[in-house]
């Protein structure tokens, strides 16, 4: 039986991935920062719920050690993250550090904790959830771009050193996923930007139908499963026609023209 370790499984994509891998006969180590939410998996056999706040380096070490003591782990899915929207001037030091600690350092530290064991076993695969926001840019998402572009480049960079030891590193970049992500996002603003932020938010709201746009968490989990099992020497995967279309457009017109188009689309 193969085993996957997943971060941020209390909702959305993480939760859908737990259920999909479980349904495919995998053992799942479902981690979450609030362990009480683990009851959502009480109907599932072979799902072990462990506490993990990915901003806590000591807990990362102890939870990874506990997970490894339960048996070999084949795949680590770095999924936990949250959105940050707003002009940089409106972001506090605490908010700035929390975004980077969670969305960038969290995945890096979890990965670092697993590498020695994977290296000795000469096998293992890391899959990191990035985003369309790790492939293109929009206004007022700069911090989120910093972490998701960071995960994209870091993953590709890591693939060189890990491949030598039989370890894989992949990313999955979803477009819009119909989860609680938007309502969980930290939105900040301050007066000189307020009008532009309102315009941006209204354009986004007009583009996104929360019931039909983008992908479901289950559809994205399928791409994660494909990345986990296809044995391809491929680092980057795109999940969702919306993400593919945005990425293709940037490649087609080039980054400068794409940036001008985004400025007109979102800010007028």
Binding marks (x or -) toward ligand NAP, 21..60, rule CB under 6 A?
-----------xxx-----------------xxxx-----
Length of the chain: 268
CB of 65 to ligand NAP, least distance (A): 17
Q: Does 150 bind ligand NAP (CB under 6 A)?
A: no
Q: Does 11 bind ligand NAP (CB under 6 A)?
A: yes
Going by C-alpha positions, the residue among 36, 42, 31 that lies closest to residue 4 is 31
CB of 64 to ligand NAP, least distance (A): 13
Stretch that binds ligand NAP, among 77-85, 188-196, 224-232, 255-263 (CB under 6 A): 77-85
Which residue from 3, 4, 12, 105 is in contact with ligand NAP, where contact means CB under 6 A?
A: 12
Strands (E), the chain: 3-6, 27-32, 47-51, 75-78, 84-85, 125-129, 168-174, 186-187, 236-239
Q: What is the spatial distance between Cα 249 and Cα 87, in angstroms, rounded to a whole number?
A: 25
Nearer to ligand NAP, 72 or 108 (CB): 108
Residues numbered 170 to 229 that lie near ligand NAP (CB under 6 A) are: 174, 176-177, 179-181, 184, 217
Q: Does 102 bind ligand NAP (CB under 6 A)?
A: yes
Stretch that binds ligand NAP, among 12-20, 114-122, 163-171, 255-263 (CB under 6 A): 12-20
Q: Does 244 bind ligand NAP (CB under 6 A)?
A: no
Residues numbered 246 to 265 that lie near ligand NAP (CB under 6 A) are: none
CB of 62 to ligand NAP, least distance (A): 14
3-state secondary structure of 70: coil
Beta bridge partners of 5: 29, 76
Which residue from 4, 5, 6, 13 is in contact with ligand NAP, where contact means CB under 6 A?
A: 13
If phi over 0 gives left and psi between -120 and 50 gives alpha, with beta otherwise, what is residue 214? left
Q: What is the spatial distance between Cα 204 and Cα 260, in angstroms, rounded to a whole number?
A: 17
Beta bridge partners of 30: 6, 49
Q: Does 82 bind ligand NAP (CB under 6 A)?
A: yes
3-state secondary structure of 166: coil
Q: How many residues bind ligand NAP (CB under 6 A)?
A: 29
- What DSSP line would sit under 88-141, residue for residue? GGG--HHHHHHHHIIIIIHHHHHHHHHHHHHHHHT--EEEEE--GGGTS--TT-
Burial (Cβ within 10 Å: 0-12, 13-18, ≥19) of residue 182: middle
Nearer to ligand NAP, 33 or 121 (CB): 33
Which residue from 68, 84, 113, 129 is in contact with ligand NAP, where contact means CB under 6 A?
A: 129
Q: Which residues bind ligand NAP (CB under 6 A)?
A: 7-8, 10-14, 32-34, 52-55, 79-82, 102, 129, 131, 174, 176-177, 179-181, 184, 217
């Amino acid at each position: 039986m193969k085993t996957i370790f997943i971060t941020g499984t209390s909702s959305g994509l993480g939760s859908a991935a737990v259920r999909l891998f479980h349904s495919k006969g995998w053992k799942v180590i479902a981690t979450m920062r609030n362990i009480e939410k683990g009851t959502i998996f009480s109907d599932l056999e072979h799902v072990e719920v462990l506490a993990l706040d990915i901003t806590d380096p000591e807990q990362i070490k102890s939870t990874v050690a506990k997970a490894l003591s339960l048996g070999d782990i084949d795949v680590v899915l770095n999924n936990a993250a949250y959105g940050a929207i707003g002009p940089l001037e409106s972001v506090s030091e605490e908010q700035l550090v929390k975004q980077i600690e969670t969305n960038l350092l969290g995945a890096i530290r979890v990965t670092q904790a697993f590498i020695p064991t994977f290296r000795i076993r000469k096998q293992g695969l890391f899959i990191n959830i990035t985003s369309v926001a790790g492939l293109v840019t929009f206004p007022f998402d700069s911090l989120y771009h910093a972490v998701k572009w960071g995960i994209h480049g870091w993953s590709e960079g890591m693939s060189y050193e890990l491949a030598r030891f039989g370890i894989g590193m992949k990313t999955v970049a979803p477009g819009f996923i119909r989860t609680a992500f938007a309502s969980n996002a930290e939105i900040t603003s301050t007066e000189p930007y307020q009008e532009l932020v309102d315009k941006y938010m209204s354009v986004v709201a007009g583009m996104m139908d929360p019931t039909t746009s983008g992908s479901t968490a289950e559809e994205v989990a399928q791409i994660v499963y494909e990345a986990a099992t296809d044995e391809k020497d491929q680092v980057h995967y795109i999940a969702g026609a919306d993400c593919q279309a945005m990425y293709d457009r940037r490649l087609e017109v080039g980054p400068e023209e794409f940036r001008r188009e985004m400025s007109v689309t979102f800010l007028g």
